[in-house]
């Protein structure tokens, strides 16, 4: 395996580090060893990046759609060629199993390929008036974008911040998480190597609040795109609002899963247990509150616990590991706190519940049942390997509980009734609803939430249109 790479900023196409800049250590979540040292951008670095983003925007938007598209396709090919290395470094810094790290690098390439195609499908429309005049509705890139990506999907999240804006013709300054920097740098480097101008895609790191205040305080930035927690999202949305910048906010969730008695229960268990514990539950669309019709509750609960007990937790680089460590100590500690609070409130702890070992941020896959709604974990996104399984009297109560929280990102349902599927699609408050499947994400479909889970979409046509503004041209 190759060494963990040297870390740097990428400003105006050049790697930047050293020079007495502040630094921070990147920690391997499986061993707690230091993987690398990450430089922070100075205030001058950020000003330079802003100025380059302004120039980069003009250059990139001035290229033809064909040119932009072929550069993005080339970058996607580079990501695939480099998937082995990118995936290994991603697993090291984030903790997930190697196959998932590699899969993430490849999925980022797929996202980019889709966005590359969208470059060529940006249409306006013409309204022809009977008297001969006409109105042209044109779409233009909004301008330089500031993107902030979290650590749970260090490559995909960075690509989601970059792909839509670049396809639209915008420039982007991205700040990946300081906890998983190598993946973000690798994504941006692939774009630069493929021919994206240095000012059109840049990568910075620092103290998150300092970087976001600096970038969002500049009139050069015309759009904010953020993935992360709801409290930080609300704070950044306010900063963006001060300058009326448009925003895409992909925030937390608390995925309800409605399991009815008219479905294949074994398939539901198999699919959803795999989904729940993927990436140690650190997934914004993770299924969390399992609301199970009471006549199939025991069967579902027991099957789910069985599946959870079979999972192997270990270093993501080792063979046969299903779940790596959690990405950081605060996530693991938070899970411990939420589980303790749930059992104090009377929840049944059916399996798991403890951290594993005292080195690395490992935590057991955990299942709680009969969790009262006043337990914190029923209200706060756990973002860890914990499933909450509760019996429910029927459809109405299940929908009511699904909609109880202010979140509305992903929701899941298992039912074979076509009429019920339609009712759920109409009534469940979520940006994405998966019925009889665990998949809520596809490169060509919008990804995003409602209520406190945010607004705006990434991926799909909507992910590009979210970076464009209409201009209406009236011709007499
Ligand atoms: P956090 O809210 O401190 O940070 C979340 C992300 O936002 C991090 O990548 C961080 O670098 C960034 N961030 C924080 N403050 C910022 C600021 N002022 N400006 C710009 N970026 C900023 O939380 P955390 O401890 O990293 O994760 C905990 C919670 O965050 C989770 O429980 C979950 O709810 C949420 N989260 C959600 C996602 C998601 O995919 N929606 C991803 C990661 C974390």
Say whether pLDDT at 2 is over 90. no
CA separation for the pair 93, 355 (Å, rounded): 19
The confidence score (pLDDT) of residue 223 equals 98
Residues lining ligand 1, judged by CB closer than 6 Å? Answer: 148, 150-152, 177, 208-209, 212, 227-229, 232, 235-236, 250-252, 284, 330, 381, 383
User: Is-contact 151 169, C-beta < 8 A?
Assistant: no
- Give the predicted TM-score (pTM) of the model: 0.97
pLDDT category at 88 given cuts 50, 70, 90 is: very high
Distance 149 CA to ligand 1 centre (A): 8
Residue nearest to atom 8 of ligand 1 (CA): 150
Q: What is the mean pLDDT of the segment spanning 187-199?
A: 98
DSSP structural state of residue 148: E
Sheet hosting strand 410-414, strand order edge to edge: 348-351, 366-369, 386-392, 287-293, 255-259, 410-414, 432-435
Say whether pLDDT at 442 is over 80. yes
**Which domains does the chain possess?**
9-251+453-475 (3.40.605.10), 255-442 (3.40.309.10)
CA distances from 193 to 10, 370, 453 (A): 12, 53, 35
CA separation for the pair 178, 26 (Å, rounded): 7
Say whether pLDDT at 284 is over 70. yes
Say whether pLDDT at 190 is over 70. yes
Altogether, the residues listed in the chain come to a count of 476
Q: What is the mean pLDDT of the segment spanning 218-243?
A: 97
Summarised one tens digit per residue, pLDDT across range 423-432 is 999 999 999 9
What is the SS3 assignment for 332? helix
**Residues tagged active-site:** 250, 284
DSSP structural state of residue 29: T
Say whether pLDDT at 377 is over 90. yes
DSSP structural state of residue 176: -
Say whether pLDDT at 96 is over 90. yes
Summarised one tens digit per residue, pLDDT across range 58-74 is 999 999 999 999 999 99
Say whether pLDDT at 196 is over 70. yes
Distance 344 CA to ligand 1 centre (A): 27
Q: Which of 93, 221, 229, 450 to mutate to test the pocket of ligand 1 (most atoms within 8 A of CB)?
A: 229
CA separation for the pair 175, 184 (Å, rounded): 8
DSSP structural state of residue 313: B
The confidence score (pLDDT) of residue 1 equals 67
Q: Where are the alpha helices (DSSP H) in 219-321?
A: 230-242, 265-277, 294-310
The confidence score (pLDDT) of residue 469 equals 97
As a whole number of Å, the CA-based R_g of the chain is 23
Average pLDDT, the chain: 97
Q: What is the mean pLDDT of the segment spanning 313-329?
A: 96
User: Is-contact 161 174, C-beta < 8 A?
Assistant: yes
Summarised one tens digit per residue, pLDDT across range 16-25 is 999 999 999 9
The values of phi and psi at residue 347, to 5°, are -70, 150
CA separation for the pair 259, 261 (Å, rounded): 7
> Which range (29-33, 130-134, 324-328) has the least confidence?
130-134
Beta-carbon contacts of residue 296 (< 8 Å; ≥ 6 apart):
259, 260, 261, 265
pLDDT category at 267 given cuts 50, 70, 90 is: very high
Let me know the angle formed at the C-alpha of 94 by 319 and 314, rounded to the nearest 5 degrees.
Answer: 35
Q: What is the mean pLDDT of the segment spanning 435-442?
A: 96
The values of phi and psi at residue 389, to 5°, are -120, 120
Distance 150 CA to ligand 1 centre (A): 6
């Amino acid at each position: 395996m190759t060494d963990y790479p040297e870390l740097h900023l990428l400003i105006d196409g050049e790697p930047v580090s050293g020079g007495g800049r502040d630094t921070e250590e990147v920690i391997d979540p499986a061993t707690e060893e230091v993987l690398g040292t990450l430089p922070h951008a100075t205030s001058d670095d950020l000003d330079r990046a802003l100025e380059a983003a302004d120039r980069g925007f003009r250059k990139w938007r001035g290229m033809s759609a064909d040119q932009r598209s072929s550069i993005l396709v080339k970058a996607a090919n580079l990501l695939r060629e480099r998937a082995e290395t990118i995936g290994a470094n991603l697993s090291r810094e984030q903790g997930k199993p190697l196959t998932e790290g590699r899969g993430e690098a490849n999925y980022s390439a797929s996202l980019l390929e889709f966005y590359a195609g969208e470059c060529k499908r940006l249409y306006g429309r013409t309204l022809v008036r009977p008297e001969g005049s006409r109105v042209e509705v044109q779409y233009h890139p909004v301008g330089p974008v500031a993107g902030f990506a979290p650590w749970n999907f260090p490559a995909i999240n960075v690509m989601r911040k970059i792909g839509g804006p670049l396809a639209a013709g915008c420039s982007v300054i991205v700040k990946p998480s300081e906890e998983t920097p190598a993946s973000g740098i690798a994504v941006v480097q692939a774009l630069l190597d493929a021919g994206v101008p240095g000012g059109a895609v840049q990568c910075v790191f620092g103290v998150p609040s300092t970087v976001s205040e600096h970038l969002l305080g500049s009139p050069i930035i015309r759009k904010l795109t953020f993935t992360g927690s709801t409290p930080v999202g609300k704070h950044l949305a306010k900063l963006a609002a001060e300058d009326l910048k448009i925003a895409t906010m992909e925030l937390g969730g608390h995925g309800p899963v409605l399991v009815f008695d008219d479905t294949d229960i074994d398939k539901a268990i198999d699919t959803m247990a795999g989904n729940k514990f993927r990436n140690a539950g650190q997934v914004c669309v993770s299924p969390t509150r399992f609301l199970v019709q009471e006549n199939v509750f025991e069967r579902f609960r027991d099957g789910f616990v069985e599946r959870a007990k079979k999972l192997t937790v270990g270093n993501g680089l080792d063979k046969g590991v299903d779940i790596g460590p959690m990405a950081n100590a605060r996530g693991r500690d938070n899970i411990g706190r939420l589980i303790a609070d749930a059992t104090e409130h009377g929840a049944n702890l059916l399996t798991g519940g403890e951290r594993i070992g005292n080195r690395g941020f490992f935590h057991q896959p955990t299942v709680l049942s009969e969790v009262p709604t006043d337990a914190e974990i029923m209200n706060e996104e756990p973002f860890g390997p914990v499933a909450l399984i509760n019996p429910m009297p029927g459809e109405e109560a299940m929908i009511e509980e699904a909609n109880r929280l202010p979140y509305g990102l992903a929701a899941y349902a298992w039912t074979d009734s076509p009429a019920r599927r339609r009712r759920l699609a109409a009534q469940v408050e979520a940006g994405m609803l998966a019925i009889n499947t665990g998949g809520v994400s596809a490169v060509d479909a919008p990804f995003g939430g409602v209520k406190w889970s945010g607004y705006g979409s990434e991926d799909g046509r909507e992910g590009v249109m979210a970076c464009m503004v209409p201009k209406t041209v009236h011709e007499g």
